Amino acid sequence: MIEVKKLRKSFDGRTVLHDIDATFYTGKTNLIIGQSGSGKTVLVKSLVGLLRPDKGEILFDGRNLLTMTSQEVKELRKEIGMLFQGSALFDSETVLGNVMFPLTMFTSMSRAEMLDRAMFCIERVNLKGAENKYPSEISGGMQKRVAIARAIALNPKYLFCDEPNSGLDPKTSIVIDELLSDITHEYGITTVINTHDMNSVLGIGENIIFINKGHREWVGDMSQIYTTSNEALNDFVFATRLFQDVRAYVAKHGKI
Amino acid sequence: MILTNSLANFGRYCMFLTRTFSIPDRWSVFGKRTIQEVSKLGIDSIPLVIIISLFIGAVCTIQMQLNVSSPLIPSYSVGLATREIILLEFSNSILCLILAGKVGSNIASEIGTMRVTEQIDALEIMGVNSANYLTLPKIVAFVFFMPVLSVLCMGTAFIGGWCVAAFTDIIPVSRYVYGLQTMFTEWYVWYGLIKSLVFAFLIASISSYCGYYVKGGALQVGKASTDAVVSSSIFILLFDVILTKLLLQ
């Protein structure tokens, strides 16, 4: 479980996160949602230690990231997997090389054991046969799956995903969402996903935190999101043309 | 403002070097990466070094002959002067200025692209010291291989001069070779090699620093690449003066 308490972050005097409180549960897909520029990415980058918050606490199962020594942070990071918006695969390595990278750096496995583990992760994300291809030779969706395979190679306790569906078509987005949800439940990982994709919210959102202008506005799950009275969240949820049409139809006819 | 920025950059460069010169997470990975960098930064530069050295050696010989065509100056002085130019300046300072363009921009653009595509963030998240992992093999490989390039440059430039003597009639080959050998000071070779080591360190570390702290996108990577070449060149010239003063006087 990850707990965030009174987290504040400013850039050049402009406060981007205002005393955020949040809890991310183990074995659940925890979603951070909000409009572009609302502070979602800053929150995720603060959670993984890429940005240093001005104040607050970030507790990884009771261990405060902000008071750890650099050695403790290094050890904690071995328990963290991250999926970046642009996948962040190493161009010079093949798919297999990318997945094997954390194993090479942080385990004392033999090469055969590393190969076994890497191939298991590659098969887990349905990429068998692509292991010798370079990132530039595979599609965006496949790159995301390679990044997921790399992120789970060390059996992480915490998995962070920064807009995993950006740049993907709706069908591929659903594949990625289902994969993340399955992995979360299968391995009991604390997964934190930063997204503004409503398909993800309605499909895998077990614990949803809505951030608006740097404030935590709402917390709930996907079944509660339709019935919320929070105006900002309603604006966000019903921002797509399809939802707006449905909403207008229901307002006019009383039901669909 | 310029002074403040320069001091801030120097401080950040020192902190960057502190992170770079820490113990690698895995020696085997470090060794493998260093060998790859020797190939990429060193061996791949050999054709460029040979071509440039050959022509500059030839040009030096021709120009020396044109400028010392006096009955009072012995003809072997053409070879002697060519040798001194090659050993004292060309095989280290000028060669490194040229390599700052090739190697410096290569390093800065590679690391800069890794920064803007979040590959460096990915390394950090995994708990890898990214400065050490990316930069140390480059610095070690280039500093290790630079003397090889420098010696190659000396030899090829002398061959360039010999070709002029052999295939034209401006100076007899025997006089040119005698000029190369006469009044030889061994220290000049060591002086050139010491300078090339320092310059190689400057090129690799400054270029890595410029790439590592890129913010933005492709435009900034291009700017970092240019900054790497310009900054490396300026510091090569500055240290050329300092080392010449220290080592030759």
Residue A62 φ/ψ region, left for φ over 0, alpha for ψ in the -120 to 50 degree band, beta for the rest: left
Asked whether the CA dihedral A156, A161, A167, A173 is positive or negative, the reply is: positive
Q: What is the pLDDT of residue B95?
A: 95
* DSSP-derived secondary structure for A220-244: E-TTTSTT---HHHHHHHTTSHHHH
Buried b (16+ CB within 10 A) or exposed e, A237-252: bbeeeeeeeeeeeeee
Mean pLDDT, rounded, of chain A: 88
Inter-chain CB proximity A105 and B122 less than 8 Å: no
What the block records as the tokens of A72 is 């403790």
Q: What is the pLDDT of residue B66?
A: 87
Q: What is the pLDDT of residue A256?
A: 63
Closest CB from B113, B118, B126 relative to A102: B126
Asked whether the CA dihedral A31, A32, A36, A41 is positive or negative, the reply is: negative
Q: What is the pLDDT of residue A167?
A: 78
Q: What is the pLDDT of residue B74?
A: 87
Inter-chain CB proximity A106 and B117 less than 8 Å: no
A179-to-A146, A184, A191, B74, B167 alpha-carbon distances in Å: 12, 8, 12, 82, 72
Do the bridges between strand A158-162 and strand A190-195 make them parallel or antiparallel, or are there none, so unpaired? parallel
**pLDDT tens profile B193-231:** 999 999 999 999 999 999 999 998 899 999 999 999 999
Inter-chain CB proximity B26 and A84 less than 8 Å: no
Interface of B with A in 94-133 (CB under 8 A): 113, 117-119, 121-122, 124-128
Other beta carbons less than 10 A from residue B104's beta carbon:
31
Q: Which residues in chain A are closer than 8 Å to B125, comparing Cβ atoms?
A: 48-50, 77, 80, 82, 160
Inter-chain CB proximity A77 and B127 less than 8 Å: yes
**CA–CA separation, A78 and B25 (whole Å):** 13
Q: Are B187 and B200 in contact (CB under 8 A)?
A: no
Q: What is the dihedral of CA B126, B130, B133, B134, to 10 degrees?
A: 130
**CA–CA separation, A44 and A17 (whole Å):** 11
**pLDDT tens profile A133-182:** 999 999 888 898 899 899 989 889 999 998 888 877 888 888 888 888 98
**CA–CA separation, B249 and B240 (whole Å):** 13
**CA–CA separation, B88 and B192 (whole Å):** 6
**pLDDT tens profile A42-85:** 999 999 888 999 999 999 999 999 999 988 888 888 899 988 88
Q: What is the pLDDT of residue A53?
A: 92
Phi, psi of B70 (to 5 degrees): -130, 140
Measure A203 CA to nearest chain B CA, in Å: 27
Measure A70 CA to nearest chain B CA, in Å: 10
Inter-chain CB proximity A78 and B126 less than 8 Å: yes
Q: Which residues in chain B are closer than 8 Å to A104, comparing Cβ atoms?
A: 26, 29
Inter-chain CB proximity B127 and A86 less than 8 Å: no
Q: Are A100 and A153 in contact (CB under 8 A)?
A: yes
Compute chain B's Rg from CA coordinates: 21
Inter-chain CB proximity A77 and B117 less than 8 Å: no
Q: What is the pLDDT of residue A226?
A: 75
Please give the average per-residue pLDDT across A185-200, as a whole number: 88
Taking CA atoms, what residue in B is nearest to A105?
B26
Q: Look at residues B155, B177, B189, B147 and name the one whose alpha carbon lies nearest to residue B76.
A: B177
Low-confidence ranges of chain B (pLDDT < 70): none
Measure A84 CA to nearest chain B CA, in Å: 7
Tell me the count of A-B CB pairs closer than 8 A: 50
Q: What is the pLDDT of residue B56?
A: 94
pLDDT at residue A189 greater than cutoff 70? yes
Q: What share of chain A is helix, strand, coil (3-state, %, to 5)?
A: 40, 25, 35
For chain A, give every residue range classified as CATH 3.40.50.300. Answer: 1-79+157-227
Other beta carbons less than 10 A from residue A63's beta carbon:
15
Inter-chain CB proximity B117 and A85 less than 8 Å: no
Q: Are B121 and B212 in contact (CB under 8 A)?
A: no
**CA–CA separation, B126 and B148 (whole Å):** 36
Taking CA atoms, what residue in B is nearest to A72?
B127
Q: Which residues in chain B are closer than 8 Å to A111, comparing Cβ atoms?
A: none
Q: What is the pLDDT of residue A202?
A: 82
Chain A residues contacting B, CB < 8 Å? Answer: 48-50, 73-78, 80, 82, 84-86, 88-91, 101-102, 104-106, 160
Which of B118, B138, B215 should we substitute to test contact with A (largest number of A Cβ atoms within 10 Å)? B118
Q: Which segment of A127-141, A214-228, A241-255, B72-86 scores lowest on mean pLDDT?
A: A241-255
More confidently predicted of B211 and A106? B211
DSSP SS3 for A245: helix
CATH 3.40.50.300 corresponds to the domain A1-79+157-227: yes
Asked whether the CA dihedral B107, B110, B114, B115 is positive or negative, the reply is: positive
Q: Where are the beta strands (DSSP E) in A12-79?
A: 14-24, 29-33, 55-60, 63-64
Inter-chain CB proximity A106 and B122 less than 8 Å: no
Q: Where are the beta strands (DSSP E) in chain A?
A: 2-11, 14-24, 29-33, 55-60, 63-64, 80-83, 158-162, 190-195, 207-212, 215-220
Closest CB from B118, B124, B127 relative to A78: B127
B167-to-A43, B156, B164 alpha-carbon distances in Å: 71, 16, 5
Strand ranges across the sheet with A14-24? A14-24, A2-11, A55-60, A63-64
Measure A26 CA to nearest chain B CA, in Å: 20
Closest CB from A75, A82, A91 relative to B125: A82
Measure A136 CA to nearest chain B CA, in Å: 13
